[in-house]
Amino acid sequence: MSEALLLSVIHKLDIKYGEDTKTKEIIKEQMERVIKEMREIVDIVRDKKLEDGRSLNFLVSDLVDVADDVLRLFTKRETLPLYYVSIHTWIGEIKKRMLRLGDDGVEMESNMRSSENVEDDDVDVVGLEQDVKILIRERIIGGIDSTVLIKGMSGIGKTTLAREIYNHPTVVEHFQHRAWVSNSVDLTIKELLIKLIQQLEDPQNPHTSSLLENMDNRSLRDMLRQHLQGTRYLIVLDDLPKQMRFMSFLGDLPQKWNGNRLLLTSHTTHKDIWNQEVHQMKPLDSKKSWQLFLKTINHGNKLTGEHKFPMKLEHMGKQMLRKCGGLSLAIKEVGKQLAKKKVSGESEWEQLLESVDFGPILKLLEPFYHKLDPKLESCFLCMAFFKENTTLRKKKLIQIWVTGGAVQDSEYKCGQNLKDLINESVIEVKDKNTEYCMNVVLHMLSIQKAEEKLGFEILRNNGNNRPSESPCRHRVIICSRDKFDYSTDQDKHLVSLSSSMEVATWTLVRLIGRTLKNLRYLTWMILG
């Protein structure tokens, strides 16, 4: 059934392409590319012998929807590149998901990527009061743009902020219809439409899920529009795939000038959404971080009496929290981790603070890493070369990327990667176009991934070194000038060696020169 439907769609595209003789060559090239991509997807369905499962049917529905858009654009002789970029991106995403399907046409659970939304449903809220007020007053109730984006890295509190707005009494009173869709797994446009309709339709006369699932995307969009027509609505789309085609979805919503609002949360801006108002979230400062920590460890976990965190260790606790980088996810995870321990005395609390395990936190951030554009993955891994909380200068970033093989020696490519990393909330602008910074927890993740994938290693003279499981290819030396002691017998695999400015002395250079005298190629870098 699915294969036959796709072949029928391709046939329509072929006929339209063959009949038209007046369309510009650039538009015909786009049509050719879509037809080629569709045929590749048919081959996947055929080769994998996929049965008509729910996931496959949803993906095919989205492809039929895309084909209808292509036919419309081709007929109108539309040349705007953004339209075609979003089409090819979404087809590419559908193709990837097809490859993850099992024989029964259902996406294999072990391969399904979880959402980057890792925030709890019942969370302690700290430090968002001002954001809530500003967003409601200036962008949700007031403001001109109908689409508002809450942007920031995973775990910074985007979903929590959106939830506070969504449930705020002023917002509940202002909007006649409200709906919330979260991306617990990667959604198709058809699933998104069904979820919205189910929340918005009359509770006394609901459509069954099976009825909605048997409708095509166009019919679902018509139904959604009918539900929203003539009303003021707020729709929250929490952490939806950046590849999703919002353009056709948004175009079918009722006109926006009635005060209707679409609120998105994402770590990146969506290129096919025009006139979106961006609210950039910032990490919590030290004061608010401490408030959230105490709220989590003492109140949220109901520790009482001798089990409560001793305020005499406030300074030590705040030092530990610096490793959380103001990330609410990390702060809450640390608080919960400590609250699970049965502790009575100050000395036991001190030991716990010194041995906090950030492994579970990094695990929660993994989806954020996996959602990076593949071309940015190498750049992300190379961020491990820098010390945590250091200022990242453009010139040094480019040097590291070129040395680590992340990019070719191209100023344009490096500049584009910088823009993309900022857009994806990996790094933040500190000084316009010259200096940047990276969240300390995200930096920990870059080190972990670099160790796994690059053969990366950090040498510290404080003894806090982890033995590399694979041959070391990239080594960074971090220690004070007077404590430097370099000796290793694993240098034969090295391709780069870096150090902080503190150890960049001629003594170091001569010592390393003797140790590595048999190497023919080595890049030596001093990290600023």
Averaged pLDDT, 103-130: 60
194-198, 258-262, 322-326: the lowest-pLDDT one: 258-262
Bridge partners, residue 478, by sequence = 460
CA distance 393 to 397: 6
Per-residue confidence at 32, pLDDT binned at 50, 70, 90?
Answer: very high
Averaged pLDDT, 234-250: 85
Exposure of 203 in the CB half-sphere (CA atoms within 13 A):
1
Residues whose CB falls within 8 Å of the CB of residue 242, separated by 6 or more in sequence, listed in order? 266, 268, 270, 371
DSSP reduced 3-state for 443:
helix
CA distance 364 to 51: 33
2-11, 275-284, 355-364, 496-505: the lowest-pLDDT one: 496-505
Residues whose CB falls within 8 Å of the CB of residue 319, separated by 6 or more in sequence, listed in order? none
Averaged pLDDT, 52-70: 91
DSSP string for 381-395: HHGGGSPTT--EEHH
Q: Are 297 and 303 in contact (CB under 8 A)?
A: yes
What does the pLDDT read at residue 150? 96
CB atoms within 10 A of CB 362: 18
CA distance 5 to 156: 43
Bridge partners, residue 261, by sequence = 234
12 residue type, one letter: K
What does the pLDDT read at residue 524? 53
DSSP reduced 3-state for 242:
coil
Judged against a pLDDT cut of 60, whether residue 488 lies above it is answered with: no
Per-residue confidence at 113, pLDDT binned at 50, 70, 90?
Answer: very low
Judged against a pLDDT cut of 50, whether residue 521 lies above it is answered with: no
| Pairing of the two strands 392-393 and 435-437 | antiparallel
Q: Are 59 and 5 in contact (CB under 8 A)?
A: no
DSSP string for 169-210: HHHHHH-SEEEEEE-SBPPPHHHHHHHHHHHHS-TTSPPPHH
Average pLDDT, the chain: 82
103 residue type, one letter: D
What does the pLDDT read at residue 189? 92
What does the pLDDT read at residue 120? 46
Judged against a pLDDT cut of 60, whether residue 516 lies above it is answered with: no
Judged against a pLDDT cut of 70, whether residue 185 lies above it is answered with: no
Averaged pLDDT, 267-295: 89
Q: Are 525 and 400 in contact (CB under 8 A)?
A: yes
What does the pLDDT read at residue 243? 85
What does the pLDDT read at residue 181? 94
Q: Are 325 and 331 in contact (CB under 8 A)?
A: no
Closest alpha carbon to 461 in 479, 440, 482, 476: 479
Residue holding tokens 């606790």? 317
CA distance 443 to 427: 10
How far the first Cα of the chain sits from its last, in Å, is 60
- Percentage of residues in the chain having pLDDT higher than 90: 41
What does the pLDDT read at residue 205? 76
**Alpha carbon of 521 to those of 148, 181, 379, 472, 491: distances in Å?**
51, 53, 22, 15, 12
Judged against a pLDDT cut of 60, whether residue 304 lies above it is answered with: no
Closest alpha carbon to 189 in 159, 160, 216: 216
Read off the DSSP letter of residue 282: -
CA distance 486 to 489: 10
pLDDT digit string, tens, across residues 432-483: 778 899 999 999 999 999 999 888 888 776 555 665 566 777 878 776 655 5
Per-residue confidence at 10, pLDDT binned at 50, 70, 90?
Answer: very high
User: H/E element holding 151?
Assistant: strand 147-151
232-241, 437-446, 515-524: the lowest-pLDDT one: 515-524
Closest alpha carbon to 297 in 285, 307, 283, 286: 307
Per-residue confidence at 163, pLDDT binned at 50, 70, 90?
Answer: very high
Q: Are 98 and 41 in contact (CB under 8 A)?
A: yes
